[in-house]
């Protein structure tokens, strides 16, 4: 599934999360090119930038956060570049020229992406990405206050021996039946120890399987429908008009950097705010009481109509 959506030939059996997958991708770039400079797009998710800097600075590598469209690769001192598609602000940009410039000077191209968005967008491989990473949380895994979520990692066949994490290969048993097994294990730490391609220990395989089964259940068209619905909701929220209330004017998501409806109280006194807050609180309280009442009535209805809640039939006169 990951290979099909990213357009790359090989995908491993998941990683810890998107941040560590990004660090692993750039570590691979260094192992391939032996150049100590690595470039990060300034439009990556902030947490990804933070994890990559923490990981790679500890290895003595030079990490620079730049506008990748203005990056200079001509000195041939850059091992790899990482950008986000769509970026952290939701923009979908064409990185073809960035990839072309990087490849012309021997640098690898890494793309942090979103699997659900790739059901509608062209895959990273089409504009020259050598490695694609990200999180599979969007495919059926709850947010969970930030985790856990399975990271994914895909790359070209030429990089497979430098790839981190476990890989699953297809083989045949003695009876000629297809089977699946761990492949190319000589890359891993239980064999190579400190010389392994990675010392990552957690693959989040359970959550990776959840995402895979979510995709299997919905199928290609179902995933496209979900992605289209989400995009429609995003456009609706972006275009939302300001709403006037007793607190003043609520601005929609068109305001830069605002991801919820916020009140404009610049012309509102503190007394008005307190009164408005009390009124809203009373409405919430009434709604809560109504919800509890409806829940109680619903439970009683189930007890009356459902065999599961029915009183057991008496089978012995002594029960009286």
pLDDT in tens, 56-65: 999 899 999 9
Q: What gap in Å lies between CA 277 and CA 261, rounded to an integer?
A: 15
Residues 98 and 60 in one domain: yes
Q: What CATH number has the domain bearing residue 128?
A: 3.40.640.10
pLDDT in tens, 3-49: 999 999 999 888 889 999 999 999 999 999 999 999 999 999 999 99
Q: What gap in Å lies between CA 132 and CA 110, rounded to an integer?
A: 6
Residues 155 and 283 in one domain: no
Q: pTM of the prediction?
A: 0.73
Q: What gap in Å lies between CA 24 and CA 265, rounded to an integer?
A: 46
Residues 300 and 197 in one domain: no
Give yes or no for a contact between 17 and 147, defined as CB atoms under 8 angstroms apart.
Answer: yes
Spell out the residues 6+ positions from residue 80 whose beta carbon is closer than 8 angstroms to its own: 25, 26, 28, 29, 30, 32, 33, 38, 39, 102, 107, 108, 109, 110, 131
- 124 falls within a domain: yes
pLDDT at site 188: 72
pLDDT in tens, 233-243: 877 766 665 55
Which residues in the chain land under pLDDT 50? 245-251, 253-268, 273, 308-320
Number of domains the chain contains: 2
Residues 82 and 181 in one domain: yes
* CA–centroid distance for 27 within its chain: 20
Range of the domain at 58: 2-215
Residues forming a β-bridge with 168? 182
- 172 falls within a domain: yes
Residues 181 and 293 in one domain: no
Q: What gap in Å lies between CA 1 and CA 166, rounded to an integer?
A: 16
Spell out the residues 6+ positions from residue 48 whose beta carbon is closer than 8 angstroms to its own: 18, 19, 22, 84, 112
């Amino acid at each position: 599934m990951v290979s099909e959506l990213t357009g790359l030939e090989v995908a491993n059996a998941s990683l810890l999360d998107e941040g560590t997958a990004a660090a692993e991708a750039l570590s691979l770039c260094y192992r391939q090119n032996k150049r100590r400079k690595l470039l990060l797009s300034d439009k990556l998710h902030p947490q990804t930038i933070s994890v990559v800097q923490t990981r790679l600075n500890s290895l003595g590598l030079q990490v620079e956060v730049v506008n990748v469209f203005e990056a200079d690769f001509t000195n041939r001192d850059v091992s790899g570049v990482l950008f986000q598609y769509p970026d952290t602000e939701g923009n979908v940009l064409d990185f073809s020229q960035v990839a072309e410039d990087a490849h012309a000077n021997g640098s690898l191209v890494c793309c942090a992406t979103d699997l659900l968005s790739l059901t509608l967008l062209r895959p990273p491989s089409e504009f020259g990405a050598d490695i694609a990473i990200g999180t599979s949380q969007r495919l059926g895994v709850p947010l969970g206050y930030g985790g856990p979520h399975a990271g994914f990692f895909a790359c070209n066949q030429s990089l497979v021996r430098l790839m981190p994490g476990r890989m699953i290969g297809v083989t045949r048993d003695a009876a000629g039946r297809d089977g699946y097994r761990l492949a190319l294990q000589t890359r891993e730490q239980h064999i190579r120890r400190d010389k392994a391609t990675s010392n990552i220990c957690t693959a989040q395989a359970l959550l990776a399987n959840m995402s895979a089964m979510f995709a299997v259940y919905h199928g290609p068209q179902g995933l496209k429908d979900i992605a289209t619905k989400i995009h429609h909701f995003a456009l609706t929220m972006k275009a939302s008009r300001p709403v006037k209330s007793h607190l003043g004017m609520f601005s929609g998501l068109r305001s830069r950097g605002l991801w919820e409806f916020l009140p404009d109280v610049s012309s509102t006194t503190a007394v008005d705010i307190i009164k408005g807050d009390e009124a809203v609180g009373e409405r919430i309280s009434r709604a809560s009481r109504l919800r509890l009442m409806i829940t109680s009535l619903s439970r009683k209805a189930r007890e009356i109509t459902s065999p599961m809640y029915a009183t057991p039939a008496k089978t012995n006169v002594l029960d009286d």
